Amino acid sequence: MKRIVILSGAGVSAESGIRTFRDSDGLWEEYNVMEVASIDGWYKDSKTVLEFYNARRKQIKDAQPNNAHKIIAELEKYFEVSVITQNIDNLHERAGSSNVIHLHGEITKVRPENDENTIIDIGYADVNIGDTDKNGIQLRPHIVWFGEAVPMMDKAIEEVKKGDILLIIGTSLNVYPAAGLVNYVKKGTQIYLIDPNPIRLNYQYFTQIQEQASSGMKKIRELLLK
């Protein structure tokens, strides 16, 4: 059975109503990224950071997986599929994907601010100042912020190395280190990229489908199942 590794970004969840950060109407237009998505921002104003992610959690609770998520999950019937996502939502899992690596963390989980290994699933509940673990340590979102290491990167690299096909969907390959994963494909791996904007990738076996996530995934499914 062939191995497909899928690298997904914000464009996959955008069709589910999850606002992206980098588009013209994105969240960075309303918030200073360093105030709500950096470790320095957390220590400067934890209350604002918690409120920001509480709002994102409510948004994700009300969102539903779209056809792109569903087709990705459906591919598991025919291939061995690993999903490496830059998204912090749980829409891949809710669509049925069983092997998902979250590079940038998960919004439905928290951890003590001094311990990155003790992870607590809170679902869609709010987290506020004064919410602590059993040792009295303040809880923070289980999110990888600017200024922090990406702990799942090594696992993601190993998945990419094993893949027969790399499918990149909904990401412009501008965010590192995730964008660098394409450099770890084994020789001869076919790379497909779905994005409405033209993206150049200097690789022999590269094909772009210049469409939105859902319509692009329909074409990919037809192509892969031929």
Rounded CA separation 36/201 (Å): 32
Which residue pairs, CB below 8 angstroms and at least 24 apart, start in 44-47? Answer: 46/129, 46/138, 46/140, 47/128, 47/129
Q: Are strands 80-85 and 3-8 parallel, antiparallel or unpaired?
A: parallel
Q: Can you spell out the DSSP letters for 88-113? A: -S-HHHHHT-S-EEETTEEEEEEEET
Q: Which of 42, 101, 95 is nearest to 66 (CA)?
A: 95
Active site residue 104: yes
- Please give the backbone phi and psi of residue 83, each rounded to the nearest 5 degrees, phi first: -110, 120
Alpha carbon distance 162, 2 (integer Å) = 10
Alpha-carbon Rg for the chain in angstroms: 18
Q: Check 69, 92, 104, 142 and give the catalytic one.
A: 104
The catalytic residue positions are 104
